[in-house]
Each structure stands twice: as C-alpha cells, then as structure tokens.
C-alpha cells in the first residue's frame, strides 16, 4: 500500500468519524445559538478558513464567471441541505436525524430519473426505496402517532429533513452536469462563503442576532462544526475521492448514522431501542440495494460521449 493510499484511508476514517459527530455538535450549538446563525456562522467561517488556506498554498480562487454556479450550489447544499437539518434538530434527536439524512441516495435516484439524461428507475431500485422509506416510517411514526405539540414538531422536523435531502440531491446532480469549476478546494471555499452570507441574511431577517449568546458548550460546538465538520472533513473528503474509488468513499454514509445514534444516546440521553436499530437497518439496507443497482448499471452501460 502506497503512502497516498494510507493517507486516503486515514482521510476516509476522518470523514466517517467527524461527519458522524456533527449531528451531536449541531444539537449542542442549538442550546444557545439560533437556527440560521448556527448554519450561517459555521459556513462563512469555514469558507474564510479554506480561502486563507488555499491562498497560502498558492491556489487561485475560481474565476468570477463560475460564481453564479457556486452560489446556486451553496444555496442547494448548504442553505437547504444543511439549514433544514439544523432547523429539524430543534425537534428531532440528533441520532434519528442522521438516520433520516441517510436517505439522500433515495432522493438522488428520484432526481436523476426525472432528468432527460438521468438513469431510469428499475424495479430493484423501487424495492430498495420501499425498504429504505419503510425504515423512516418505523423510526418516526410512533412519535407522530402520539399526537400533541411534540408529535407535530417531530412530523415537521422529519419533513424538513426530507427537504434537506432533496436540496442535497438536486445540488449533487447539478454539480455532475454543470459545475465544472476546476479546483475543488477553492470552489468549495467560495461556495461556503456564498451560503454563509445567505444564511446570515436569513438570520438577520428573522431577528436572531439579539438572541445570540454562547455558553462554553455551544461555543465549543460551533468551533468544532467550523474547523472539524466543514474545513477538516471536507478536505479529507476531497483527498479520499482523489485516491479511492467513489463506491468505497461513499460507505461513510453507512457509518455516520451509527456514530450519531450512539453519541446521542451516550452524551445527550437520546432514546435508543430495538425499534431505532431496526429502522436504521431498514434504511441502510435500502441504500445498499439502491447503490447496488446503480453500480451494476454503471458497469454495464457504455461510456458516455464527452464534448471536446
């Protein structure tokens, strides 16, 4: 195994651990920091850090002609994809949030199926979707069925998480087709800056600044989200996908929910039961079926012609 491969596996382990812990950090940050400020301060700070690192490495920022695409991606993946996660965690436990967010591949295949050049849905894919979404139903239906204000809050939290998954899926499809911006590190820095500005604008419109204050716990959570969750983990992700197969790197999606559920149980006293385990197994099994079908389709399909 080469040095690059060893570092790539270390980067992959970093992704699994760090992104699995960010759900806990968001929950802690929300103890004193309002919703849009949790997301906005995180992304604008991470964008500034990455920009400074990139410039120190001698990398130029993306040309202005690409900024429109980067702003759109920032809106889809960070404002919608992450902002709705933060909002949902006011009402949904961090571990359950991670399990629901694991359903992003389900939305991705749906988005792809609607696009003219996307992959059509197969019966096996539909079976995987059915299994995965049944896990989400098992996970949250008892809370919703309980009724009352708490049940309604959980319902809307789960709906917000589905919107977050949809935003991330649309952003991913857009990236594959239109967002060829060169250096992924600097492009991500600009994307983070745009999304941070948007989220801070929402925080201002919602009057959140007057409610902002930090406790030692929430400040530590915000620093962790910025430096570890955004800057370190994303850099590790970029390195891992450059040196490992995408199918291997994507396995982090199976590890993150497990870490989030255990941490939520141990550190925040969140519920942990056979039902939660069964729901997580169903969601992850559905992901495995969907990704298995996608892998077979990719290996059997002829290569696409590219424009020159």
**The pLDDT of residue 305:** 37
CA distance 240 to 230: 15
Q: Which residue has the higher pLDDT, 291 or 189?
A: 189
* Whether residue 220 has pLDDT greater than 90: yes
Give the mean pLDDT of 122-138.
78
**The pLDDT of residue 69:** 87
Mean pLDDT, the chain, integer: 83
**The pLDDT of residue 100:** 85
Among the residue ranges 131-145, 189-203, 210-224, the one predicted with the least confidence is 131-145
* Whether residue 283 has pLDDT greater than 90: no
Q: Which residue has the higher pLDDT, 182 or 35?
A: 35
Q: What is the pLDDT of residues 91-117, one digit of tens each?
A: 988 988 888 888 777 777 778 777 776
Q: What is the pLDDT of residues 229-280, one digit of tens each?
A: 988 887 788 778 767 776 677 677 778 888 888 899 888 888 777 887 888 8
For 134, the token pair is: 């049944």
**The pLDDT of residue 111:** 81
Give the mean pLDDT of 130-137.
79
Give the number of residues written for the chain: 308
**Highest mean predicted confidence (pLDDT) among 121-130, 161-170, 201-210, 262-271:** 201-210
Q: What is the pLDDT of residues 9-68, one digit of tens each?
A: 998 899 889 989 999 999 999 999 999 999 999 999 999 999 998 889 888 888 888 888
Give the mean pLDDT of 195-214.
96
Q: Cβ distance 51 to 189 under 8 Å?
A: yes
**The pLDDT of residue 302:** 45
């Amino acid at each position: 195994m080469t040095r690059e491969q060893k570092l790539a596996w270390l980067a992959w382990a970093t992704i699994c651990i760090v992104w699995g812990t960010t759900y806990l950090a968001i929950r802690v940050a929300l103890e004193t920091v309002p919703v849009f400020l949790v997301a906005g301060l995180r992304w604008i700070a991470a964008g500034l850090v990455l920009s400074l690192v990139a410039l120190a490495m001698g990398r130029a920022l993306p040309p202005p002609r690409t900024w429109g695409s980067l702003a759109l991606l920032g809106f889809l993946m960070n404002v919608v994809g992450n902002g709705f996660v933060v909002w949902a965690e006011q009402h949904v436990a961090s571990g359950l949030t991670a399990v629901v967010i694991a359903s992003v591949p389900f939305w991705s295949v749906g988005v792809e199926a609607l696009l003219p050049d996307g992959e059509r849905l197969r019966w096996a894919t539909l079976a995987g979707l059915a299994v995965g979404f049944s896990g989400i139903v098992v996970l949250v239906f008892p809370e919703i069925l309980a009724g009352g204000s708490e049940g309604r809050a959980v319902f809307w939290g789960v709906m917000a998480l589905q919107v977050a998954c949809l935003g991330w899926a649309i952003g991913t499809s857009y990236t594959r087709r239109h967002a060829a911006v060169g250096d992924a590190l600097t492009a991500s820095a600009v994307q983070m800056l745009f999304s941070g500005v948007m989220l801070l604008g929402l925080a201002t419109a919602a009057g959140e600044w007057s409610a902002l204050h930090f406790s030692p716990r929430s400040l530590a959570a915000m620093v962790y989200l910025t430096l570890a969750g955004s800057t370190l983990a994303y850099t590790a992700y970029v390195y891992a996908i450059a040196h490992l197969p995408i199918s291997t790197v994507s396995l982090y999606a199976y590890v993150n929910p497990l870490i989030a559920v255990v941490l939520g149980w141990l550190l925040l006293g969140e519920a942990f039961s056979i039902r939660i385990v069964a729901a997580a197994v169903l969601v992850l099994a559905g992901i495995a079926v969907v990704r298995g079908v996608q892998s077979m389709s990719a290996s059997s399909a002829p290569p696409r012609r590219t424009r020159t």
